[in-house]
Structure 1
Amino acid sequence: MRPTPHRRGPARRALVAVLSTLGLAAASAAVVALPASASAPPPPAGWSTVFSDDFNGPAGSGVDTANWQYTTGTSYPGGPANFGTGEVETMTSSTNNVALDGAGNLRITPQRDASGHWTSGRVETRRSDFQPPAGGKLRIESRLRMPDVTGAAAKGYWPAFWALGAPFRGNWWNWPGIGELDIMENVQGLNNNWSTMHCGTSPGGPCNETTGIGGQKACDGSTCQGGFHTYAVEWDRSGSVEQMRFYLDGVNFHTVNQNQVSAATWTNATNHGYFVILNVAMGGGFPDAFGGGPDAGTQPGHSLVVDYVTVLQAGSGTTPPTTPPTGNRDAYGTLQAESYDQQSGVVKEATTDSGGGQDIGSLANGDWALYKGVAFGSTPARQFSARVASGAAGGVSGLVEVRLDSPSSAPVGSFALANTGGWQSWRTVPANISGVTGTHDVYLTFTSGQGADFVNVNWFTFGH
Structure 2
Amino acid sequence: MTRSRGLLAVLAALAPVAALLTVIVPGTASATTVPTAPSGWTTLFGDAFSGSSGSGVDSSWTYDTGTQYNGTGCTANYGTGEVESNTSSTTNVSLDGSGHLSITPVESGSSWTSGRIETVADNYAAPAGGELEVTASIQQPNPSSGVGYWPAFWMLGAGFRSSGAGTSGTMTCSNWPSTGEIDIMEDVNALSEHSGTFHCGVDPGGACNETTGLGSGLVACSGCQTGYNTYSVIVDRTNTSNESITWYLNGTSYYTVTESQVGTSTWQAAVDHGFFLILDEAVGGAYPNAICGCTSPTSATTSGSPMKVSYVAVYQKAASSTTSASPSASASASASASASASASASPSATATGTSGSGGGTSCTTTATSNISADCYGGSNGTISVTSTTDTDPSGVDSNQAAQLSSGDWLEYKNVNFGTAGSSQFDARVASGAAGGVSGLVEVVIDSPSNTPVGSFAVANTGGWSSWETVPANITKVTGTHNVYLEFSSAATGNPAYVSLHYFDFPTS
TM tier, shorter chain? 0.5 to 0.7
* Kept after mapping to 2: 8 A contact 1:4/1:80: no
2:63 counterpart of 1:70: yes
Q: Determine whether 1:8 maps to 2:6.
A: yes
CA deviations over 1:382-427 (Å, ceiling 9, x no partner):
xxxx999xxxxxxxxxxxxxx9959989xxxxxxxxxxxxxx9xxx
Pick one of 45, 65, 71 that aligns with 1:51. 45
Contact 1:75 / 1:82 at 8 angstroms: preserved in 2?
A: yes
The residue identity in structure 1 corresponding to 2:55 is S
Cα distance, 1:358–1:219 mapped onto 2, change above 3 Å? farther
- In the TM superposition, residue 377 of structure 1 has moved relative to its aligned partner by 9.8
1:264 is paired with a residue whose SS is helix
Q: Are 1:373 and 2:366 matched, yes or no?
A: no
2:199 alignment partner in structure 1 = 198
Aligned to 1:313: 316
How many angstroms apart in 1 are the aligned matches of 2:127 and 2:412? 27
Q: 1:197 to 1:323 in 2, by over 3 A?
A: farther
| 1:27-81 per-position Cα deviation (integer Å, ceiling 9, x unaligned) | 999x98737452121112221111111110101111111x111111111103121
2: distance between equivalents of 1:185 and 1:71? 18
Equivalent-residue separation in structure 2 for 1:356 and 1:214 (angstroms): 44
Q: In structure 1, what residue type is equivalent to 2:153?
A: F
In 2, Cα distance between the equivalents of 1:356 and 1:90? Answer: 38
| CA 377–229 in structure 1, closer or farther in 2 if over 3 Å, else same | closer
Q: Paired residue for 1:42, among 36, 40, 64? A: 36
Distance 2:260 2:18 in 1: 29
Distance 1:124 1:323 in 2: 45
Q: Alignment identity in percent?
A: 40
Counterpart of 2:492?
none
Where 2:46 maps in the other structure, the secondary structure is strand
Q: Kindly indicate whether the alpha-carbon contact (under 8 Å) linking 2:158 and 2:276 is maintained by their aligned counterparts in 1.
A: yes
Match of 1:94 among 89, 98, 112: 89
The equivalent of 2:493 in structure 1 is none
How far residue 157 of structure 1 moved from its aligned partner, in angstroms, is: 0.5
Instruction: Report the counterpart of residue 235 of structure 1 in structure 2.
Output: 235
Distance 2:480 2:359 in 1: 12
Cα distance change of structure 1 residues 339 and 211 upon mapping to structure 2, 3 Å threshold: farther
The alpha-carbon deviation at position 356 of structure 1 amounts to 5.1
Q: Distance in 1 between matches of 2:52 and 2:350?
A: 53
Q: Contact 1:4–1:175 at 8 Å: present in 2 too?
A: yes
Following superposition of structure 1 onto structure 2, how do residues 29-428 of structure 1 map, counting pairs within 5 Å? 34=28, 36-65=30-59, 67-78=60-71, 79-113=74-108, 115-150=109-144, 153-170=145-162, 171-216=172-217, 218=219, 222-239=222-239, 240-291=241-292, 292-316=295-319, 317=341, 329-332=358-361, 357=390, 373=410, 405=445
Counterpart CA distance in 1 for 2:360 and 2:253 is: 48
Could you tell me which amino acid in structure 2 is paired with residue 83 of structure 1? Y
Q: 1:135 to 1:189 in 2, by over 3 A?
A: same
Is the Cα contact below 8 Å between 1:27 and 1:217 reproduced in 2? no
1:245 partner SS: strand
Which residue of the partner structure matches residue 366 of structure 1?
none
Give the superposition deviation at 1:26.
9.4
Check whether the contact 1:162–1:276 (CA below 8 A) recurs between aligned residues.
yes
Q: How big is the alpha-carbon RMSD for the aligned residues of Structure 1 and Structure 2?
A: 4.1
AA at the equivalent of 1:332 = T
Deviations 1:413-463, CA, capped at 9 Å, x for gaps: xxxxxxxxxxx9xxxxxxxxxxx99964489xxxxxxxxxxxxx98679xx
1:156-193 deviations in Å (ceiling 9; x for gaps):
10000001111011211111111110000100001211
1:3 CA drift (Å): 2.1
Aligned residue for 1:124, secondary structure, equals strand
Instruction: Please say if residues 330 and 376 of structure 1, whose CA atoms lie closer than 8 Å, have aligned partners that are also in contact.
Output: no
Q: Secondary structure at the match of 1:62?
A: coil
Q: Is the 8 A contact 1:133 1:318 kept in 2?
A: no
The SS at the match of 1:167 is: helix
Q: Which amino acid aligns with 1:155?
A: V
- Match of 2:37, SS state, is coil
TM-fit CA distance, 1:358 = 8.1
Cα distance, 1:283 vs structure 2: 0.6
Q: Which runs of 5+ in 2 are unaligned?
A: 20-24, 163-171, 320-340, 365-369, 375-387, 394-407, 416-425, 429-442, 447-451, 455-466, 468-478, 487-499
Look up the SS of the partner of 1:173 in the other structure.
helix
Instruction: Note the alpha carbon deviations across 1:277-320, whole angstroms, 9 max, x for none.
Output: 10011111001112231122111111110110111111234666
Within 1, Cα distance between the matches of 2:342 and 2:33?
32
1:60–1:328 Cα change, 3 Å: farther
C-alpha change, 1:100 and 1:319, in structure 2 (3 Å) is farther
Q: Deviations over 1:123-150 (max 9, x none)?
A: 1111111111111110000001011225
TM-score, length basis structure 2: 0.62
Q: Which moved more, 1:103-112 or 1:329-338?
A: 329-338
* Aligned AA (2:308): V
Q: In structure 2, what is the Cα distance between the partners aligned to 1:205 and 1:282?
A: 28
In structure 2, do the counterparts of structure 1 residues 405 and 230 end up closer, same or farther at CA, with 3 Å as the change threshold? same
Seen in structure 2, the aligned counterparts of structure 1 residues 359 and 273 have a Cα distance that, compared at 3 Å, is: farther
Structure 1 residues 440 and 242: alpha-carbon distance in aligned structure 2, compared to 1, 3 A threshold: closer
Partners of 1:216 and 1:253 within 8 A in 2: no
In the alignment, is the contact (CA less than 8 A) between 1:72 and 1:122 conserved in 2?
yes
Q: Structure 1's 329 and 54: CA in aligned 2 closer, same or farther, altered over 3 A?
A: farther
The unaligned stretches of length 5 or more in structure 1 are: 341-354, 361-370, 379-385, 389-402, 410-423, 425-435, 444-456
CA-CA distance at 1:272 after TM superposition: 1.7
CA distance in 1, matches of 2:503, 2:270: 29
Letter in 2 for 1:8: G
Matching residue of 1:391: none
CA distance in 2, matches of 1:207, 1:26: 21
Q: In 1, distance between residues paired with 2:503 and 2:264?
A: 33
Q: Give how far 1:373 is off.
A: 2.9
Alignment check: 8 A CA contact 1:51 1:312 kept: yes
Q: Work out whether residues 164 and 274 of structure 1, in 8 Å CA contact, stay in contact via their aligned partners in 2.
A: yes
Indicate how the Cα distance of structure 1 residues 460 and 169 shifts in structure 2: closer, same or farther if over 3 A, else same.
Answer: closer
Please tell me the residue identity of whatever aligns with 1:76.
Y
Over 3 Å counting, the alpha-carbon distance change for 1:45 and 1:376 in structure 2 is: closer
